[in-house]
Amino acid sequence: MVWLGKQGPRFIRPIRWVTAVLGEGKSASVVPFEVAGVRAGNGTFGHRSYSRHAISVTGFKDYRTKLAKARVEIGPEERRARFKAQVKLLLETKNLRVPEDRELEDWVVNSVEWPHAILGEFDPRFLALPREILIAVMRGHQKYFAVEDSTGKLEPRFVTILNREDDPKGLIRAGHERVLRARFTDAEFFWDTDQKAPLRDRMPLLERVTYHEKLGSYAAKVRRVEQIAKAIADLWVNQGLISEDKIELISAAVRLSKCDLTTQMVQEFPELQGVVGGLYAQAQAEPQEVADAVYDHYRPAGLQDEGPRSPIGRAASLADKIDAVSSGFAVGLAPSGSSDPFGLRKQASGVIKALLASEISLDLKPLIRAAINGLNKPDLSSETSKLLSVMSGVADFFRERVAYYLDSVDGIRYDTIRAAVLASGEPNVWNVFGDDPLNIRERAVQCERNRNDARFLSLCAAAKRIRNILTKSAAGSEALGDAFKMELFEKDEERLLANALTDVVPQAKDLARKREFGRALLTISELSQPVDRFFDSVMVMVEDVKVRENRLRMLNYLNGVCGAIVDFSQIVAEEASVSAAPKAKGSTALERDAEH
């Protein structure tokens, strides 16, 4: 709402009074100001049902005390503690409890001034409905707490929180029971009516349900998701993660996954998408693995949410989310800044959580390509520049979510994360990683473990210097290449480094292919001593063009090695532990090169 004209302040409710007092007791004074035409004063009001007269206050302590007498508890945590204590008193003698629900608690805390819990009942016949539907009715529509016994079984009771002190005649409780009975009767009707058209028969109806105006119907989405899910299934069969007979179950789960969008139950309770489909699939005698996969395929909904329970559910969930992100980017729906109206960050985070929490290795790049190809758009076919641009954007987006997960969940340092993520981009020097989130995490973890190794830190410092020299060289590193020639070396230190590279790189590369990243990083760290000796004795930027460019080529090769598993140049050394003692400015060939 807007007050005092279009240019006035905005506030959701009418502003009746403003209390602003500075100080306590006799020294207190009103802070003089005006908002929306209302002048601040020292008056306030208590609970509308118990205190109809204005209350004058002389400071915060007086404000709290007088409002409590007027049936207003100003502290949100005090309100929470008050109603939770009441709920406990109502239920513990009956050996009952309410399921933990912080979100509903928060809603109640912010909706009442003087909470009072009451216990209501409903007809036990409604317990024939699934637990999820009963809770959705109580929680979603009515903001009631469900009640369960000590084993977690729902009881035909509920708890609601009133914004008043009591209900002596039980009239308010009876009213709530009457409303809940009507709600449950509706849900019962939806369940019975929906069962008359099995999920399998509802698939054609998805042609009439729009997924997005730029992406067509849900039927088209399901076809895309099924192709992605089959690609995932084939990979997992080859890896021995699932047997071949699971492939058809995965396809069946995907085909049924969106059919509940056509049901009356989901139209009434959209938050139960997927859940209703799983419950209906189970009621309609679909294989239990398929029903569970349909139920779970929206999971995980966030980093704190549990993922699907089975490989079939994981395949369906991953395919659904990869399609959502990839197709969204393809038609220009990518998030920008804090704006993400289509929830693509949440979808991408769900992919990362599902893979990392289950420790599943999966290269996302071919799946991103499959998702975009499934759109059948001419400008995204073959190897068009737009296709490559979209694929690159999606891959970068997933890597950003990996970085967020490693930071917020694993607690890995920012520079370690950056080092692992940057080594994952294209073109990867050794071309052994692809876009596998688990691979990024494993490399980040091993990098974190090696950060206190003196050789590792020394090479990190050298990697920064190498990159600076290559950046400042007249010839670009890409134009130079990295094919150096031994016969052009003039000093023992450059030959020593070249021989060390010849010895170390094949070992490290082999270890990386085996995913033994900790050993691979320590192997690469063995280059620190020959690198230091090289920079202490060899001037790179000499007059002789052939010698200079040959040295730059070797540094370019070394730069690639230092960015293959993790990007050593991104690590920020916390201690000055990369050298035994400081050297005078310009005293080494490296520093002279850097100055050049």
On the question of pLDDT at 585 being above 70, the answer is no
Is there a domain that residue 288 lies in?
yes
Q: What is the pLDDT of residues 383-404, one digit of tens each?
A: 778 888 999 999 999 999 999 9
Q: What is the pTM of this model?
A: 0.86
Asked if residue 541 and residue 406 are part of one domain, the reply reads no
> 10 Å Cβ neighbour count for 128?
9
Is there a domain that residue 162 lies in?
yes
Is there a domain that residue 9 lies in?
no
Is there a domain that residue 7 lies in?
no
Mean predicted confidence (pLDDT) in 405-411? 95
Which of 194, 226, 247 terminates a domain? The answer is: 194
Pairwise CA distance, residues 429 & 564, whole Å: 5
When comparing pLDDT for 289 and 428, which is higher? 289
Asked if residue 492 and residue 366 are part of one domain, the reply reads no
Q: Of all helices (H) and strands (E), which one includes residue 234?
A: helix 218-238
Asked if residue 89 and residue 231 are part of one domain, the reply reads no
Q: Is the dihedral of CA 209, 212, 213, 219 positive or negative?
A: negative
**pLDDT at res. 579:** 43
Mean predicted confidence (pLDDT) in 438-465? 94
Is there a domain that residue 168 lies in?
yes
Which of 442, 458, 474 terminates a domain? The answer is: 442
Domain carrying residue 231: 201-442
Asked if residue 148 and residue 35 are part of one domain, the reply reads no
**pLDDT at res. 474:** 63
**pLDDT at res. 578:** 41
When comparing pLDDT for 538 and 10, which is higher? 538
**pLDDT at res. 582:** 39
Asked if residue 535 and residue 436 are part of one domain, the reply reads no
Looking up residue 494, the CATH number of its domain turns out to be 1.10.730
Burial 482-518 (b: 16+ CB within 10 A, else e): bebeeebbebebbebbbebbeebbeebbebbeebbbb
Is there a domain that residue 437 lies in?
yes
The answer to whether 371 touches 228, Cβ cutoff 8 Å, is: yes
Asked if residue 431 and residue 390 are part of one domain, the reply reads yes
When comparing pLDDT for 269 and 577, which is higher? 269
Asked if residue 506 and residue 401 are part of one domain, the reply reads no
Is there a domain that residue 1 lies in?
no
What's the mean per-residue pLDDT of the chain? 90
On the question of pLDDT at 303 being above 90, the answer is no
**pLDDT at res. 46:** 94
How many independent structural domains does the chain possess? 4
Asked if residue 565 and residue 480 are part of one domain, the reply reads yes
Nearest to 322 by CA among 359, 347, 296, 290: 347
Which of 416, 442, 468 terminates a domain? The answer is: 442
Beta strands in 29-152 (DSSP E): 29-30, 34-35, 38-41, 43-44, 55-56, 96-97, 116-121, 145-149
Is there a domain that residue 298 lies in?
yes
Asked if residue 39 and residue 142 are part of one domain, the reply reads no
Asked if residue 455 and residue 436 are part of one domain, the reply reads no
Q: What is the pLDDT of residues 482-498, one digit of tens each?
A: 788 999 889 999 999 99
**pLDDT at res. 542:** 85
Q: What is the pLDDT of residues 29-70, one digit of tens each?
A: 999 999 888 999 999 999 988 888 999 999 999 999 999 999
Asked if residue 206 and residue 328 are part of one domain, the reply reads yes
Q: What is the pLDDT of residues 311-362, one digit of tens each?
A: 999 999 999 999 999 999 999 999 988 888 899 999 999 999 999 999 999 9
Asked if residue 293 and residue 369 are part of one domain, the reply reads yes
Mean predicted confidence (pLDDT) in 447-469? 93
